[in-house]
Amino acid sequence: MFAFIIRRTLQAIMVMLVISLIGFSIKSNIGDPVRDLVGERVTPAERAAIADKLGLNDPFFIQYTRFVKNVLHGDFGTSLIYRKPCLEVILKHAPATIELVLGAALIIILISLPLGVFSALKPKHLFSRFIMGFSTLGVSIPVFLTAIMFIYLFAVTLGWLPSYGRGETVDIFNNGYWNSGFLTIDGLKHLVLPCISLASIMLPLYIRLIRSEMMEVLETEYIKYAWAKGLSPKRIWLVHAFKNTLLPVVTVFGLQIGIMFAFTILTETVFQWQGMGFMFLEAIQRADISLLIAYLVVVASVFVLVNTLVDIFYGFINPTVRIAGTK
Amino acid sequence: MKKTIFVLVLLLSVFLLFSCGEKPTGESETISKLKQEIVELKAKIVDLETKLAVPTEPVVVGKILKVGLDADPVSLDPQVQLSGGMLQLSHWVFDPLVRWDKDHQIVPRLAEKWERLDELTMRFYLNKGVKFHSGNPFTAKDVQWSFARLQKSVDFKGLFEPFDSVTIVDDYTVDIKTKKAYPLLLNMATYIFPMDSVFYTGTDDTGQPKDACVKFTHTFANGNESGTGPFVVTKFEQGIVLEMTRFKDYWDTKSPGNVDKVILTPIKENATRVAALLSGDVDFISPVPPTDFDRIRSDSKVDLVTLNGGRIITFQMNQDRVEAFKNVKVRQAICYAVNNTGIVEKIMKGTASVAAQQSPVGYQGHKTDLKPRFDLDKANALMKEAGFADGFEITMMAPNDRYVNDAKIAEATAQMLAKINIKVNLKTMPKAQYWDEFDKRAADMMMIGWHSDTEDSGNFSEFLTMCTNADTGYGQYNAGAYCNKKIDELVIGAQSETDVAKRTEMLQEVEQILHDEAAFLPFHWQNHSYAAKKNYKIEPIVNALNFPYFGDLVIE
């Protein structure tokens, strides 16, 4: 077991090194960060001096080893546009994105479960057909279009909801990191449209998934047996069938949450939501390479860490994984 | 039910276990611990009481202005970066010696009047009784201190190259001296925003001097301010929000402005910015995307204001890369082939003024008889004369996020040039990458827009059309490699010509030569556009420089 853990950890470290190397090698293609720091009138000589001070002119290998050394000391560099440590910038933007994803996930769960179950139980019902048709439409509309349509309908025309930003937030830990929009009415109002837009990408998928899983389960022997036994329909549907429907759905949901984080870039841009996706785009547009690389490394390390832990736990639960690995 | 009871019992037992786990190791220790806790609690109570007695945020009962701009200031240090956004902030939080008004005239601000003493010196008489946000009084010393810092700032030192020094005559009088006669001294005084010399002296918590002016790390001045301007910054989170409240001791008591609080949020997405205004989430936006002009005009709750800006959009034709561009007839043919009037109408939706020269109306060099020249027959004839009837192939580059509709303008140009048999291979890219390519002069035709820093015609030529010279810095952005000694002579001459009539003549001759020789392909001057709710009277506070003076804004 010990050897297995060591092996997984070494693999994780290798992955991190490769990711940081890839991040580093694209940085020269993003643009010149010095350009964004200075006005257009600054002479090329002055710009070269700034690039020198930032160490941008050093050979690739020296820059890279310096970066790795600093990261090992917990220093991810300083963001050029925010003028603050990258890690602090990323951590301050993370809660906004997490709240957005959380809100969207909540909406997906609350809507897809009843709709999916209903359309599985009554597949010929008019409402079920409507749901299926609507979900096809939902899959095919890109998220930014949905978002802009929502803004024009609910913010501009009807005036029910705010059009952009996070509104009033509360600093939960009083240290400036986690500003939550969940605790104020204004913050919640601001959450509605972005969360629905983000949810709109995944929602149709889940309705269809739940429907087909549920329909499959309803055909199984044990459900037939339950009918024969004379159990009430409610009990068969909600206790026996529904529970078994959920297993694959939860697995897919776990996998898709990561993808949802990626989709936040579009949603955050349209709603000017100050989260990580917004920050990432800003960093690309203004060629803040320090922040970009730090972001890549931080996000990658979160994924690698979670995956490694899962793998190790899996090794405990299912020894065949360990054995297979040694061959 | 059984399960729940079981869980509850389990929880309770765990709780009990934990609370028993802490064995009393002697009474005195527990008592002292308790005592300490009591002291801490007392401190907390006192803390809470003070917080309750003095509300942390003063209740604003006045008028609030919510602003949505495409970018927010990058710092609170007015000298750290020379950009439109930073100068806007400077006008809100600091105050210049003099500033441009709506009619493009220079009017007094911190300097109440000024006079020329000799060819090199201008004397400025400062307002008395002006206070900084820190409470320190504003005197001549602050002007001198700020000026010296400007001369060291990476971004500003180039602009202040012609200047020598500031000398203090008395507490409220300063003399500004240039190295040689300089007709634009007063124009440049619009860039002098006095900073609080006492406030910015000393060292901060990290041991760094407070006056440090560094772009890429945190400095005292990047996050703290003390200016004389109408607004005090109360909250600044870069990229998220900038909040300012009116300075209660503001010196300009004659200003009609009645805005008590400004909340500025950057809204980069055009559609979202417009939606934010139409839905009432913000009160003022800029810029307004041309595609939404009709929508905003037709809305009865908001007003649209556009006015001429001075940024000229051009293409440069690189004579070093393309032999044909050395031929003046080919260059003229290109100018005749491009319908820039059509581009302004169709692509810019009328939100720009067609140009045939660098200097916009109101500049000394502007020549009214230079007209856009679109004539396809003439263009083809010129190509034939030059021996290029069959045309040739060139490369073209333009940014796609720098100027209004930049990529679309480039596409239209490429199509128009196809009509005179010039095949264009166009590449557009984000500005973060474009400027590198521009510095390398990587394509045969490259787009550049320019706004004169000095609000004077000479500045255009100094950067765009004078012969490139790495030592003097002239022609730094001349990617056309156009070089005419006569232009250099005239522009340099105009720099120290103080006779207005003579100077005007020189600068107009420059425009005439550039036009005749088709040194570059002109498109238009971009307009500035603003939209606000009807009761926000924005018309009087906007100007050609794109510095909305919120300090003077009246909300009805």
Residue B337 pLDDT exceeds 50: yes
Q: Which amino acid is at B424?
A: V
CB contact under 8 A, A32 and B435: yes
Q: Which of B83, B88, B215, B217 should one mutate to test binding to chain A, selecting the residue with the greatest count of A CBs within 10 A? A: B215
Residue B456 pLDDT exceeds 70: yes
Terminal-residue alpha carbon distance, chain A = 14
CB contact under 8 A, B81 and A287: no
CB contact under 8 A, A37 and B216: yes
Q: Which amino acid is at B78?
A: P
* Backbone torsions φ then ψ of A172, nearest 5 degrees: -60, -50
Residues 6+ apart with CB under 8 A from A4: A312, A315, A322, A325, A326
Contact of B360 with B366, CB cutoff 8 Å: yes
Q: Tell me, yes or no, whether A22 and A49 share the same domain.
A: yes
Q: Is A168 part of any domain?
A: yes
Q: Which residues in chain A have Cβ-Cβ distances shorter than 8 Å to B238?
A: 81-83
CB contact under 8 A, B432 and A36: yes
CB contact under 8 A, A42 and B217: no
CA-based nearest residue to B70, from B524, B529, B408: B529
pLDDT digits (tens, 9 = 90+) for B282-322: 999 999 988 888 889 998 899 999 988 889 999 999 999 99
A73 at the B interface (CB within 8 A)? no
- Residue whose token pair is 């000393």: B202
Q: Tell me, yes or no, whether A168 and A47 share the same domain.
A: no
CB contact under 8 A, B432 and A42: no
CA atoms of B184 and B161, how far apart (whole Å): 12
CB contact under 8 A, B215 and A274: no
| pLDDT at position B2 | 47
Q: Tell me, yes or no, whether A192 and A238 share the same domain.
A: yes
Mark residue B35 as left, alpha or beta (left: phi above 0; alpha: psi -120 to 50; beta: remaining).
alpha
Q: Is A80 part of any domain?
A: no
Q: Tell me, yes or no, whether A142 and A169 share the same domain.
A: yes
Q: Is A77 part of any domain?
A: no
| pLDDT at position A230 | 87
pLDDT band at B25 (very low <50, low <70, confident <90, very high): very low
Q: Which residues in chain A have Cβ-Cβ distances shorter than 8 Å to B81?
A: 37-39
Which residues are paired to B396 by β-bridges? B426, B445
| pLDDT at position B20 | 39
CB contact under 8 A, A82 and B239: yes
A51 at the B interface (CB within 8 A)? no
Chains A, B: CB contacts within 8 A come to 124
CA atoms of B211 and B204, how far apart (whole Å): 9
A44 at the B interface (CB within 8 A)? yes
What is the distance in angstroms between the Cα of A49 and the nearest Cα belonging to chain B? 10
Q: Tell me, yes or no, whether A130 and A221 share the same domain.
A: yes
CA atoms of B246 and B43, how far apart (whole Å): 34
pTM above the 0.95 mark? no
Q: Which residues in chain A have Cβ-Cβ distances shorter than 8 Å to B206?
A: none
Q: How many helices (H) and strands (E) does chain A have?
A: 14, 2
Annotate B313-323 with b (16+ C-beta within 10 A) or e (fewer): bbbbbbbebbe
Q: Which of A50, A143, A146, A272 should one mutate to test binding to chain B, selecting the residue with the greatest count of B CBs within 10 A? A: A272
Q: Tell me, yes or no, whether A38 and A153 share the same domain.
A: no
pLDDT band at A53 (very low <50, low <70, confident <90, very high): confident
CB contact under 8 A, A38 and B280: no
pLDDT band at B234 (very low <50, low <70, confident <90, very high): very high
Q: Which residues in chain A have Cβ-Cβ distances shorter than 8 Å to B430?
A: 31, 285
Q: What is the DSSP letter of A241?
A: I
pLDDT band at B22 (very low <50, low <70, confident <90, very high): very low
- Residue whose token pair is 């064995």: B23
What is the distance in angstroms between the Cα of A236 and the nearest Cα belonging to chain B? 21
- Both structure tokens of A9: 């950890």
Q: Is A249 part of any domain?
A: yes
**Final residue of a domain: which of A50, A72, A94?**
A72
Out of B217, B238, B266, name the one closest to residue A78 (CB).
B217
Q: Which amino acid is at A249?
A: V
Q: Which residues in chain B have Cβ-Cβ distances shorter than 8 Å to A37?
A: 81, 215-216
Residue B38 pLDDT exceeds 60: yes
CB contact under 8 A, A148 and B267: no
Q: Which of B153, B216, B237, B437 should one mutate to test binding to chain A, selecting the residue with the greatest count of A CBs within 10 A? A: B216
Q: Which residues in chain B have Cβ-Cβ distances shorter than 8 Å to A159?
A: 279-280
**Final residue of a domain: which of A39, A72, A105?**
A72
pLDDT digits (tens, 9 = 90+) for A128-186: 888 888 888 877 888 888 888 889 899 888 889 988 888 888 888 877 788 888 888 88
User: A106-110, A139-143, A222-226, B254-258 — which is least confidently predicted?
Assistant: A139-143
Terminal-residue alpha carbon distance, chain B = 65
CA-based nearest residue to A103, from A16, A20, A203: A203
Out of A50, A279, A285, name the one closest to residue B432 (CB).
A285
| pLDDT at position B23 | 40
pLDDT band at B55 (very low <50, low <70, confident <90, very high): very low
Overall average pLDDT of the B16-30 stretch: 47
User: B7-21, B216-230, B497-511 — which is least confidently predicted?
Assistant: B7-21
- State the ipTM, two decimals: 0.81
Overall average pLDDT of the B185-211 stretch: 92
Residue B21 pLDDT exceeds 60: no
Q: Tell me, yes or no, whether A31 and A144 share the same domain.
A: no
A286 at the B interface (CB within 8 A)? yes
Q: Which amino acid is at B107?
A: V
CA atoms of A311 and A8, how far apart (whole Å): 8
User: B24-28, B111-115, B229-233 — which is least confidently predicted?
Assistant: B24-28
Residue B52 pLDDT exceeds 70: no
Residue B58 pLDDT exceeds 60: no
Q: Which of A41, A80, A267 should one mutate to test binding to chain B, selecting the residue with the greatest count of B CBs within 10 A? A: A41
Residue B24 pLDDT exceeds 50: no
Contact of B132 with B251, CB cutoff 8 Å: no
CA atoms of A46 and B476, how far apart (whole Å): 13
CA atoms of B218 and A78, how far apart (whole Å): 9
Out of B280, B430, B439, name the one closest to residue A285 (CB).
B430
Q: Tell me, yes or no, whether A163 and A30 share the same domain.
A: no
CB contact under 8 A, B154 and A286: no
Q: Is A195 part of any domain?
A: yes
Q: Tell me, yes or no, whether A137 and A172 share the same domain.
A: yes
**Final residue of a domain: which of A72, A105, A127?**
A72
Question: What CATH number did the domain enclosing A280 receive?
Answer: 1.10.3720.10
What is the distance in angstroms between the Cα of A187 and the nearest Cα belonging to chain B? 14
Q: Is A79 part of any domain?
A: no
Nearest 5°: the CA angle B433, B438, B441 is: 135
Q: Is A32 part of any domain?
A: yes
Q: Tell me, yes or no, whether A59 and A155 share the same domain.
A: no
- Domain total for chain A? 2
CA atoms of B245 and B231, how far apart (whole Å): 5
Q: Whole-number mean pLDDT of chain A?
A: 85
A285 at the B interface (CB within 8 A)? yes
The secondary structure element, H or E, covering residue B67 is strand B63-69
Overall average pLDDT of the B429-451 stretch: 90
Domain that holds residue A37: 2-72
Overall average pLDDT of the A284-307 stretch: 86
pLDDT digits (tens, 9 = 90+) for A7-18: 888 988 898 889
Q: Tell me, yes or no, whether A131 and A263 share the same domain.
A: yes
The secondary structure element, H or E, covering residue B20 is helix B2-21
Q: Tell me, yes or no, whether A66 and A120 share the same domain.
A: no
Q: Is A99 part of any domain?
A: yes
pLDDT digits (tens, 9 = 90+) for B121-155: 999 999 999 999 999 999 999 999 999 999 999 88
A192 at the B interface (CB within 8 A)? no
pLDDT digits (tens, 9 = 90+) for B374-412: 999 999 999 999 999 999 999 999 999 889 899 999 999
Rounded to 10 degrees, what is the CA torsion of A71, A73, A76, A77? -120
